[in-house]
Structure 1
Amino acid sequence: MAPNDSAGTNGTAAPGTKGAEAGRRKAVRYIVPVAVAGVAAATIGLVPALASSGDPDLPKITAQELIEKIAASDTQQLSGTVKISTDLGIPSMGGLAGSFLPDGAGDKGSASADPQTKLTELASGTHTLRVAADGPDKQRVSILDNASEYSLIHDGDQVWAYDSESNAVYHAQDRAGGSTGKGEHRAAPDGVPTTPKALAEQALKAADGTTSVTVDGTAQVAGRDAYRLVLKPEQSGSTIGSITVAVDAENGVPLKFTLQPSSGGKAAIDAGFTSVDFEKPDASSFSFTPPKGAEVTEADEAEDHGKAAGKAAEEAKGDLSAFEGMNVIGEGWNSIAEIRTPGGAALPSKASGDVPAEAQQFLDALGDKVTGKFGSGTVFKTRLVNALMTDDGRVYVGAVTKDALVNAANDAG
């Protein structure tokens, strides 16, 4: 087992390391507290069902070297199975989703296989994914349920999505050419990570002097030897306890990603391969022909159909430009976004008739009434991201505790 090795991000260089300091900072910029809002909206996790045969005995590696190994990984071909679940501590939405949608926004006319909406299902529950990739222009992600399968296939400039349950097909042309030009591929819509690597890339971006980074031994994931890279906040008050990335010892590919909340309990975000193969996938993995009788919706048709619903949605949410610009309070893991409504207008509520009763009931299940120098308001809670909405029209949100939000609102005056 590789011994623990630390690479703190407080900016203090050891004697004799000035020559490596620039490289350390360049690589360590990939380490960040998870982009809180984005991860909360699209974070996913894994039910641990990974093959394990003890901790492998691997050569010693420093945290800095392991970070550089991840950044330098250029693996283009792989296939395997990923198991995903989420435990954010959010009450079940049940049939409440329709309460938040304007009339016509969710009718049958929209494409049921549209990946932009289908893949957001990964934000809750437990799912098994089959994935494959062969360079920047060929990827496939399939969500396997008990009796159905949803597949998203990217082959050159063609993108197909198929929902076997509804026998619906969605087709689009990838005008971006598959790659974003930043080493990222459009195998799924933006903000929907489907592999441990995609999750790790969201977390490993930039250090700001608030993160402890260590190598905490080794592990075996999906039959592969791996190092365990652990990130922890050096600040108190964060809802994030630690992030662990199991990194393939041979090629630097993240095999497992785990986010542990500071409140304890099981992981809130945890994604990992149960099986993985780095050989070239069969070409048939990326070919698709619509099944007989399937209803095919072209992307342009779906876009035209959604215009009326989009207009209604704009009217329903009002003129967001009226909100004052976002102010960020604090730094690092304890960053809190402050947003003010114009003129201190009260937020939508059941009493004002702006929020359906069912939706308000859902929100109330999340909320705690609080008071302070700022006045009064409600803190809405999940295991990762909390938000304080004051009665005078201010919003404070971050991956921080309820007390941290109240203190930020008190200090803001």
Structure 2
Amino acid sequence: MSANTKTSRKVARYAVPVAVAGVAAATVAMVPAFANAGGPDLPKVTAQQLIEKIAASDVQELSGTAKISTDLGLPKIAGGLLGGSGVAAGSAAPEDKIAQLANGTHTFRVAADGPDRQKLTFLDGKDEYSLIHNGDDVWGYASQSNEVFHEKNAGAGGHEKTGRRLDASPQQLAEEVLKAAGPTTEVGVGDTAQVAGRDAYQLVLKPKQAGSTVGSVQIAVDAKNGVPLRVQLLSSQGGKPIVDAGFTKVDFTKPSADTFTFTPPKGAKVTEGADGDDKGKGADKEFKALEAFPGLDALTGGAHGKGEVKVLGEGWSTVAQINTGAGKSLKDLEADKNAPKEAKQFLDSLGGKVSGKFGEGRIFSTRLVNALITDDGKVYVGAVTKDQLVKTADSAR
């Protein structure tokens, strides 16, 4: 592995949505399964050999088109937030645009030239949005509003805490999944495939534990150069993939230098990002979506909540227990005749009430992540089924 590759993996990044980045929670136990027939006729490889092929890949230059489809099964009100209704129209802030990847289908052009130059251009609709990392600078440009976001990349040169890298490509998704997988994971090789016109092996990761919402993660790996070309996250309940991210076209030649050059257009509104450490630290980020609803800040404890987090279980069954330090309970909000309608609508979207040794609460449910919000101000969240979540909350009492 080259020094540049090692450096790029140390750089802190703009993550894809939380649910995607935290797919598997422990390391890999190899299963020497072999590739099956059904796709291109390729030499047989073991899972160990395929992972080594990915690790040995030194491809740092590419360009192409990729597509990501996400079907989390979100309630309408929450899906609206992630799908864009909760994001300012035409916003140039990178966090706003990346958050939208958590819902629906999105197409973008991608280009990379080593760890210091990457570019993503979203192609949703006629209005384009570009996110560019070029050396010390990170730029975001929204053509619809003619707004520009600029931030000095304090992490350029290897400062892990503050550096920015644009991680929405299948390569980075696969890297996050493999980095998180472990002894609670069964790893094998599935059918061969063709992705973006290239022959590929498929690495298949499956939970050994019961109770996960994840059925498997399938990573299509370029047979020649070891680059992950597609990542699919499949539900344990079947149906279409929860996440399907992959190249539709890819070229491994060096992009031209001007690909990463950006100058704010005349008349554009330029917003400078904050320098230094990420201001969104701690458990406050976990409750940002809730606090977007008037009246729910009391449930989460707002910016002054305790935010104490305890990890329960391991591997695919990991659940985070979060003590919000809330000033109110769900029951208080339900009984409050003066509570804003948005808060009541959110409660209605959470689904049915549940009870157990932990007390009473409601479960916010998606196809991937379930969250139990209890009446006494605790939140239990994980990529586990509702039954597993309640069982874990009971055992934590």
Q: CA 1:374/1:37 → structure 2, altered by over 3 Å: closer, same or farther? A: farther
Task: Please name the residue that 2:43 is paired with.
Answer: 59
From the superposition, tell whether residues 238 and 354 of structure 1 become closer, same or farther in structure 2 (CA, over 3 Å): farther
Change (3 A) 1:198 1:410: same
Moved more, 250-259 or 401-410: 401-410
Q: Which residue of 2 aligns with 1:397?
A: 381
RMSD across aligned C-alpha pairs, in angstroms? 3.6
Distance 1:409 1:167 in 2: 48
> Which of 365, 372, 390 in structure 2 is aligned with 1:388?
372
Counterpart residue number, 1:7: none
1:161 alignment partner AA: G
Check if 1:329 corresponds to 2:312. yes
Q: What secondary structure is seen at the aligned counterpart in 2 of 1:217?
A: coil
**8 Å Cα contact 2:17-2:101 kept in structure 1:** no
> What does 1:327-406 align with in structure 2 at a 5 Å threshold?
327-342=310-325, 346-347=329-330, 349-352=333-336, 356-406=340-390
Contact 2:16 2:99 in 1 (8 A): no
Equivalents in 2 of 1:36, 1:186: separation in Å? 13
Query: CA 1:234–1:116 in structure 2 vs 1: closer, same or farther (change >3 Å)?
Result: same
Q: Structure 1: how far apart are the matches of 2:196 and 2:163?
A: 24
Inter-CA distance 36–75: structure 2 relative to 1 (3 Å threshold)? closer
Is 1:187 equivalent to 2:165 in the alignment?
A: yes
Q: How many residue pairs get matched?
A: 349
Counterpart amino acid of 1:390? Answer: T
Contact map agreement 1:245 1:256 (CA 8 A) in 2: yes
Which whole-Å CA distance do the structure 2 matches of 1:272 and 1:241 have between them?
19
Partner of residue 216, structure 1:
190
Offset, 1:400 = 0.9
Query: Which residue pairs with 1:38 in the alignment?
Result: 18
Match in the other structure for 2:12: none
Gaps of 5+ in 1: 1-34, 44-53
Aligned partner of residue 93 in structure 1, secondary structure: helix
Could you say which residue in structure 2 is the equivalent of 1:163? 142
CA offsets 1:119-171 (integer angstroms, 9 cap, x no match): 22222121111000111111111001221100111222122221111111222
SS of equivalent residue, structure 2 residue 174: helix
Show CA shifts across 1:88-147 (max 9, x none).
Answer: 00023389759xx9xxx9889xx9312122222222121111000111111111001221
Distance 1:79 1:235 in 2: 38
Does the CA-based 8 Å contact 1:217-1:227 persist in structure 2?
yes
Q: Out of 178, 185, 210, which is 1:236 matched to? A: 210
AA at the equivalent of 1:186:
R
CA 1:392 to 1:291, structure 2 compared with 1: closer, same or farther past 3 Å? closer
1:409 deviates by 2.3
**Normalised TM-score (structure 1):** 0.75
Aligned counterparts of 2:145 and 2:16: Cα–Cα separation in 1: 34
CA distance in 1, matches of 2:367, 2:168: 21
Provide TM-score, normalisation by structure 2.
Answer: 0.77
Quote the residue 1:132 is aligned against. 111
Q: Tell me, yes or no, if the aligned pair for 2:64 and 2:109 is still in contact at 8 Å.
A: yes
Question: Per the alignment, in what secondary structure is the counterpart of residue 335 of structure 2?
Answer: coil
8 Å contact kept, 1:344–1:392 = no
Is the 1:136–1:185 Cα contact (8 Å) retained in structure 2?
A: no
Larger radius of gyration: 1
CA contact (8 A) 2:301 2:325 kept: no
What's the CA shift string for 1:56-106, capped at 9, x where partnerless? 1111111011111112222110000001221000023389759xx9xxx98
Q: Residue type of the partner of 2:340?
A: P
- Counterpart of 1:367 in 2: which secondary structure? coil
Residue 223 of structure 2 aligns with which residue? 249
Instruction: Give the letter aligned to residue 323 of structure 1.
Output: K
Match of residue 3 from structure 2: none
Q: How many angstroms apart in 1 are the aligned matches of 2:338 and 2:392? A: 27
* 1:282–1:114 distance in 2 versus 1, CA, 3 Å: same
TM-superposed deviation, 1:300: 5.3
CA distance in 2, matches of 1:106, 1:380: 21
Displacement of 1:237: 0.9
Which residue identity lines up with residue 221 of structure 1 in the other structure? V
Counterpart code for 2:70: T
Q: Map 1:85-100 to 2 at 5 A.
A: 85-93=69-77, 97=81
In structure 2, the CA distance between the partners of 1:185 and 1:318, relative to structure 1 (3 Å rule), is closer
5+ residue gaps in structure 2? Answer: 1-14, 24-37, 286-290
Distance in structure 2 (CA, Å) of the matches to 1:379 and 1:90: 12
Give the corresponding residue for 2:64: 80
Match of 1:285 in 2: 259
Cα deviation, residue 275, structure 1: 0.2
CA separation of 1:219 and 1:65: change in aligned 2, threshold 3 A: same
Q: Structure 1 residues 409, 295: CA separation in 2 closer, same or farther (over 3 Å shift)?
A: closer
Alignment-mate amino acid for residue 154 of structure 1 = H
Secondary structure of 1:56's counterpart equals coil
Cross-structure match for 1:5: none
Amino acid at match of 1:277: D
What is the percentage of aligned positions where both structures have the same residue?
57
Q: Equivalent residue of 2:191, what SS? A: strand
